[in-house]
A = this chain, B = another copy of it.
């Protein structure tokens, strides 16, 4: 039933509608893609689920299940064709086109993001650097000129910016986010340590450096506690 419809779309063109890929799977696809890119560079033509899974540190069953949501691109008894699988994942993720992004906030983090060279090779192009501070506007960073934040609406329209990276101070971030949304951008990657309010239909992901460290700290402490427990239990027996 759905199968036939799907095939039709497939034959007709590009926009192959895949049924709801689970979120957990989506978040792993970029890692698989990264590993496959490495294999391509090494000239490896074929890979088994076991090998690929160990490269990214997941179980082979999980990997196979993840890939099965995209379709059946493996060959039983052999494995996956590296090039083809890489292409299919790119397709699923929507990376056969380039995504234009803008970085807002040219502090230390904004500069680092601007200079980050992991974007270009992975379907993402930095198309604008924005700040509202006059002393930064007009300066060159990583080959781009910093432009006034107030120009975002025009810039977003002209260059087709689809995603904004916010590397602004916490206190002004909500305001910036509002302006970004008003400029018609519907996807935000927020690096500020604050959670922002956006209208429905706008996507936000947060990356908070301190949060990550705190999660590590928690587990470290758990472990310390665990090894202290033997001694602790003993101590409690004594009055």
Contacts and interface: CB of A to CB of B under 8 A. Distances in A.
A210 B124 contact: yes
A45 interface: no
A5 to B, nearest CB: 9
Interface in A187-239: 187-189, 193-195, 197, 203, 205, 207-223, 225, 228-229, 232, 236
A123 to B, nearest CB: 7
A77 B15 CA distance: 53
Contacts of A8: 236
A93 interface: yes
B118 A210 contact: yes
Interface stretch (A59-67, A80-88, A108-116, A146-154): A108-116
Interface residues of A, number: 71
A interface majority secondary structure: helix
A109 B101 contact: no
A26 B216 contact: no
Interface stretch (A27-35, A127-135, A175-183): A27-35
Contact of A99 (B29, B189, B213, B229): B213
A168 B192 CA distance: 22
Q: Which 4 pairs of residues, A with B, have the shortest CB-CB distance?
A: A94-B221, A112-B112, A108-B112, A30-B211
Interface of A: 8-9, 12, 15, 17, 26-27, 29-31, 33-35, 38, 55-57, 92-95, 99, 101, 108-109, 111-113, 115-116, 118-119, 122-124, 162-163, 165, 170, 186-189, 193-195, 197, 203, 205, 207-223, 225, 228-229, 232, 236
